[in-house]
Structure 1
Amino acid sequence: IEVTANHHAVMTGSDGAKARFIHRQTMANAMRFTTTELAELETKIANAADRALNIELAAFDALTAEAVGEAEKIRAGADALAVLDVSAALALLSESEAWCRPVVDSSLAFEIAGGRHPVVEQALRRSGDGPFVANDCDLSPEGSAKNGAIWLLTGPNMGGKSTFLRQNALIAILAQTGSFVPATSAHIGVVDRLFSRVGASDDLARGRSTFMVEMVETAAILNQAGERALVILDEIGRGTATFDGLSIAWAAVEYLHEKNRCRAIFATHFHEMTSLAGKLARLSNVTMRVKEWENDVVFLHEVGKGAADRSYGVQVARLAGLPEAVVDRAKEVLHQLEEGEVSGKTNRLVDDLPLFSVAVKREASKPVKSDVLGAALGEINPDEMTPREALEALYRLKGLAGT
């Protein structure tokens, strides 16, 4: 209780007031007092917080004990809700995205018609970049063959090879979880293992390079894949020298065909490997189609039979925004390297390529029409010009010449 200095006598003027009001503090213009009742109330409030906490802890312990006693029922209910949640979500997605019911049996079939990548399809729709291009995939045994097929997939960078690989792996997983799949139709023989080697990752902390990680993962696939496995391999051998990488990729495909005898899709930029189709009965060449239009490349994102003969890496570099001088220089080097490869002079090409030619090239000046410059010269009569007029005419001609 706080009172002004003028009224403090009310609190201290009598024995009864002194017994009731206990002086606590004196300030310049006021005095503060408390009472026995207020002190008791303060103690009750302080103790109430502790009692409330104890009551809350006791209630929580009782609730926990009761929940533990019903743990099995709660777990069963959570599992049922999880199944219901996933089933409802997949059903809604299947209905809205026109997914189909796959046929899953004990055969070695893998026949997908109009397959799509569900995530990329949604991303394209949201960004407004156009519809997703659906593609077929058939790795089923052909004719009297007892084992599934291998597709050797070639094509340009940004052509859609990695998306095609991933979408078929996702379709296999969705089908065996009991879901509808993003395709027009699907017939899949049970896949006991799904192996994939896609992308690149370093493990520098453990002293493993990108190529080392790639080889370790490839070794695991070749050592474990059986005839019921589905193997997805993306550009094996790209992390080392060209001939080393080509040799490893070549041998890996032969091993998949002869030893593992599994269904597989093998994407590569080593176009030399397409000749394996004539030697391995279950291997087929497929490619991502492109269309060249006015020195540019249009990616169709369609998978068709055949083999690509180019990777269009320079065109992709141009799309990525590399300086025109770098792109032009790359075209020159590529042309000379290709000529050297055909003529067998590849080893001498490095000495024949001029160094730093990109630095000495200058942008060509725009040509000036000769008739414009000639007309300007024809209008000049040197005998009638003053020195000032002659100098102005010279600057004007220099401007027309563009120098």
Structure 2
Amino acid sequence: IAPGHDAPLDELRSLAAEGRRHIASLQSRYVEETSVRTLRIKHNGMLGYFVEMPAREGERFVRPETDSPFIHRQTMANAVRFTTAELSDLAQRIASAGQEAEARQAALLAELAEAARAEARALQAMAEAIAGIDVLAGLAALAETRDFVRPLMSEAPVFHVEGGRHPVVEAALRARGEPFTGNDCRLGGEGEGHLWLVTGPNMAGKSTFLRQNALIVLLAQMGSFVPARAAEIGIVDRLFSRVGAADDIARGRSTFMVEMVETAAILNQASARSFVILDEIGRGTATFDGLSIAWATVEHLHDTLRARTLFATHYHELTGLTARLPGLRAVSMAVKEWRGTLVFLHEVGPGAADRSYGLQVARLAGLPPPVLRRAGAILKELEAQGGPAAMRRLVEELPLFAFAAAQGGEAPPVDGHPVLARLRALEPDTLSPREAQELIYALVALAREEM
């Protein structure tokens, strides 16, 4: 209970917390009233609190005829000890102040609880109203400060968003002083597909694109403005998401099993009014098994459910379905290669990605160069021959240490390597320590240029 609400409680708290100050205040008053400058209030285990003054000063207060508040307690060789009714009362109150304060506070809280209980309906209605105002004020502030737009809600099964953004990722980038690249998304409507097949390399932004559009649906239907330049959203009956990878050890489910259970829930419950995002269906099993499941899932979503769907995948074979599924559109995340480095543009454009750039992403992640060269050689062989038969031949025929050159070519013959040429031309006995050190740095730089 806050100070100032109840005077008796404040006094008890003050006594409990500042007992010494109250005793000192009483002592000062007694000194002033008696003119005995050496008067002191002391404490011991036998008498408790008592007033002590020199014997020559205290004799006049010991006499019975003296009209004095001091009650004689003890005479000593050089001092006389007294008590007073006021001091006894103060000592008693200090001793019990803590317990009394707790009891007083409990009684006041009980009264408050009873008063609140009598107004429970009104308080609950007020709390709900304040909560609603708080949410709406927060959404309004968000819309104003983050440049959100009011979506047009309609009965048509469409999802048309211009310059859509992910509000959380955008906030994180803004904190670092970096911009977020907005993207359009048009599902449903005349001449538009209701299912987008999103391809592109890892780290290009496929999952972010899926999530941001799901969040736009959620924000729009809860009455909020949305992070976009413009938006028209047909009412959604359910929002389904199959994104990310995680197992369920407690239930004995592998990552792939969890993925299939969640996919099954979507395919069994979604309707033409639903909004679905699916990320990398089928990646947790054998290549052709996963491709088959993803293929059939796309067909079911397109032909049977007809839900507005964003389907991210690395199975580029699925993009061929656009030729026979009229509501399917292939889009991709734009990337550029610049001086051997992969640059992610985070832009969604029409058409399928030409490849997944897995080796380039692996290089960015820091895989060792020998592993990357070996992976490049295997990839070339698989792309050249294709199919499971090629995989078996590759395992049998490709030499374990046949490292290909990094980035676009075969490894140069060892005999012609420029580092070896420099080494052969050396006369080690003629080098000074300084020259030897400079040569080592030069050879290291040359070797790095050749990688």
Question: Shorter-chain TM-score category?
Answer: 0.7 to 0.9
Give TM-score scaled by structure 1 length: 0.80
Match of 1:29 in 2: none
The 3 A distance-change label for structure 1 pair 342 and 295 is farther
Instruction: Quote the residue 2:204 is aligned against.
Output: 159
| 1:1-400 paired onto structure 2 within 5 Å | 1=42, 20-21=72-73, 42-129=91-178, 131-143=179-191, 149-341=194-386, 345-355=390-400, 366=419, 368=421, 373=425, 392-393=429-430
For 2:356 and 2:316, the matched residues in 1 are separated by: 9
The CA distance in 2 between the partners of 1:227 and 1:261, in whole Å, is: 5
CA 1:291–1:43: 2 relative to 1, 3 Å: same
Superimposed CA distance per residue, residues 71-110 of structure 1 (whole angstroms, 9 cap, x where no aligned partner): 2222222222222222222222222222221110111111
SS in 2 for 1:292: strand
CA contact (8 A) 1:191 1:230 kept: yes
Instruction: Report if the CA contact (8 A) 2:246-2:258 is conserved.
Output: yes
C-alpha separation between the residues in 2 aligned to 1:164 and 1:2? 77
2:386 aligned counterpart, secondary structure: helix
Question: Is the Cα contact below 8 Å between 1:22 and 1:35 reproduced in 2?
Answer: no
Query: How many Å separate the matches in 1 of 2:196 and 2:183?
Result: 14
CA RMSD of aligned residues (A): 3.7
Deviations 1:138-194 (A, max 9, x none): 111334x9xx61001111111100000011111111111121111111111100100
Aligned partner letter, 2:194: A
Shift of 1:332: 1.9
Structure with higher RCO (Cα < 8 A, 6+ apart): 1
Gaps of 5+ in 2: 1-41, 45-51, 64-70, 76-80, 404-410, 444-451
> How many angstroms apart in 2 are the aligned matches of 1:109 and 1:84?
31
Q: 1:2 to 1:170 in 2, by over 3 A?
A: closer
Distance 1:89 1:393 in 2: 77
Name the SS of the counterpart of 2:102 in structure 1: helix
Distance in 2 separating the partners of 1:249 and 1:273: 8
| CA shift in 2, pair 1:2/1:44, >3 Å | closer
The 3 A distance-change label for structure 1 pair 354 and 21 is farther
- Give structure 1 regions of 4+ aligned residues with deviation exceeding 3 angstroms: 19-23, 33-44, 361-365, 367-370, 391-396, 398-402
Aligned residue pairs, count: 369
Q: What TM-score results when the alignment is normalised by the length of structure 2?
A: 0.72
Q: In 2 relative to 1, CA 176–369 (structure 1 residues): closer, same or farther, beyond 3 Å?
A: same
* CA positional deviation for 1:239: 1.1
Task: Please give the alpha-carbon distance, in whole angstroms, between the structure 1 residues aligned to 2:255 and 2:148.
Answer: 37
Whichever residue aligns with residue 242 of structure 2, its letter is R
| Letter of the structure 1 residue corresponding to residue 383 of structure 2 | E
1-structure distance, mates of 2:89, 2:119? 45
In structure 1, distance between residues paired with 2:220 and 2:43: 79
**What is the CA-CA distance between 1:219 and the residue it aligns to?**
0.4
1:50 deviation in Å?
2.5
Contact 1:97 1:182 in 2 (8 A): yes
Cα gap change, 1:392 to 1:107, in 2 (>3 Å): closer
CA contact (8 A) 1:142 1:149 kept: no
| Structure 1, gaps ≥5 residues long | 24-32, 378-390
Q: Post-superposition shift, 1:48?
A: 3.2
Which deviations, in whole Å up to 9, do the C-alpha atoms of 1:244-291 show, x marking residues without a partner? Answer: 111111111111112211110100011111111112121111111111
SS of 1:233 mapped into structure 2? strand
**Can you list the C-alpha shifts for 1:183-219, whole angstroms capped at 9, x where unaligned?**
1111111001000000112210111111111111100
Change beyond 3 A, Cα 1:311–1:45? same
Give the match's secondary structure for 2:419: coil
Distance between the aligned counterparts of 2:214 and 2:262, measured in 1?
Answer: 17
